[in-house]
Amino acid sequence: MANQSEFLYPRSRYYGKVKPENLVFNANLQEFAQRVSYICNLETAGKLSPEESYKQIHALWKDLKRTKKQLGIGESPFQEDDENPPA
């Protein structure tokens, strides 16, 4: 039987281009999605107000954006990769 953490915080396998920054961002993205889902469920159940839900999701989004910037995801358009070979 899976432990409680795996049940509450499931992780999906990563199928993209394997680079350390991509793996870290994917883990952060999955955590973001999971936490947004919990916040939405709490708001739907009346446990959080819409305003508090918005504030929490906005803070999570800002953290995700900061992480993306720190990892340099999407910031090297001229870097060679397998998907866009040079002309």
pLDDT tens track for 11-23: 788 888 899 999 9
Residue 39's nearest CA partner among 60, 50, 58, 53 is: 53
CB 17, CB 82: distance < 8 Å:
yes
Alpha-carbon 8 to chain mean position: 16
pLDDT tens track for 39-76: 999 999 999 999 999 999 999 999 999 999 999 998 76
